[in-house]
Amino acid sequence: MLITDSLLLDYKRCSRRAFLNMYGDSTQQDPERDFLQKLRQENKRHTALVLETFYPHYQQSHVSGLSWREKAKVTEQLMQQGVDCIYKGILWVDDTAQSSYDSEEFPSIFPLGYEYLGKPHLLIKQPGESKFGNWSYYPVSIHLGRKAKPEYKLLATFYAQLLAIIQQTAPPTPELIVRPLKHSSVDVIQWLPKLQLVLDECVTMLGAVQEPEVFISRQRCNLCRWYSYCYGIAQSQQHLSLVPGVTPSRYQSLQDIGVHTTESLATANLNAIEEQIGTKLAQRLQQQARSLVHNQPILHAQSQYNPSETLSNQTIELYFDIEAEPERNLDYLLGVVVFNRLTHTQTFYPF
């Protein structure tokens, strides 16, 4: 079995996505959304800017028509030659190479019996002993986000471990570059145990062909191509994650008191739920569940607050609207509606 960086990234974000990408029926996938294509285009522009700014003399390792194993050999040949900067290198390790590298000084964290593949954006030459000579390489990953997220650090550590095996050195210190052109280093000592845990869990799940439970998370699921497939399963199970506000931790709390479905949440004793997750939250989640079960809106109790008293009474009102992907620090679909109280007309201006 081949364990890739993209598979680990999927597992870190959603173990079910990793499983379905490996074993699922691809005909069940949704068409790819245009927004994903837009993200890829933005990522390409960001990568090109990083290369132009910091690494204008890179050497690309890709050769068209080669398999990924052949591309990995080309990458290692460039490392053997001592090329200063390698773009789109392929790092490949199998259990044979792993067992020959493993030692008490630098023990391997990779589970035996698998192949491992990583595609760091850049491999940068630095002074230091390796099997290649008096130089070695460290990986640089380029991401579209504005923060060095945990999943970025996990993949960077994965690349460092692959390089350690290939170079027969200690894992080098990886670097991340996020927008706008911000560099940061990854503490591999801190992240190697976390990577080992994720690897062990991932290969155990995939090796046992053990399909993870469905869980609908609006932020993480809305761009996934398995969304409709998983949502259908969740509906058939009346899964609690369909209730807005039910997070993984709240889901576990509800499970602990015997609440397993949207219907059981709608009819459960409110006092028991309040003791577990608090009064206001319990009331809100139960109302959400009842709304789902009966497929109709539930009006909140009338508030003493009168919004018309605080809204503007000016002749012209401007309403600004925006859509966002918080996990990607991306804002889009910006626009303004201009409302004229005298003429009772409104005009929309998309940005």
In the prediction, which pLDDT does 308 show?
63
Among the four given CATH numbers 2.60.40.1220, 3.40.50.300, 1.10.150.20, 2.70.170.10, the one describing domain 218-294: 1.10.150.20
CATH (one of 1.10.10, 2.40.50, 3.90.320, 1.20.140) for 2-207: 3.90.320
Each residue's pLDDT tens digit, 49-89: 999 999 999 998 877 788 999 999 999 999 999 999 999 99
Q: For 98-109, write each residue's pLDDT tens digit.
A: 444 555 556 678
Q: What is the rounded distance in angstroms from the CA atom of residue 141 to the CA atom of residue 46?
A: 12
What is the spatial distance between Cα 111 and Cα 94, in angstroms, rounded to a whole number? 10
Say yes or no to pLDDT of 328 above 80.
no
Domain locations in the chain? Answer: 2-207, 218-294, 307-350
Residue 194's closest CA among 1, 6, 3, 8? 8
pLDDT at 97 exceeding the cut of 80:
no
Percentage of the chain modeled with pLDDT above 90: 75
> What pLDDT is stored for residue 121 in this prediction?
96
Using H for helix, E for strand and C for coil, what is the string for 16-79? HHHHHHHHCCHHHCCCCCHHHHHHHHHHHHHHHHHHHHHCCCCEECCCCCCCHHHHHHHHHHHH
Same CATH topology for 2-207 and 218-294?
no
Q: What is the pLDDT of residues 208-262, one digit of tens each?
A: 998 999 999 877 888 899 999 999 999 999 999 999 999 999 999 999 999 999 9
Helix (H) or strand (E) holding 281: helix 279-294
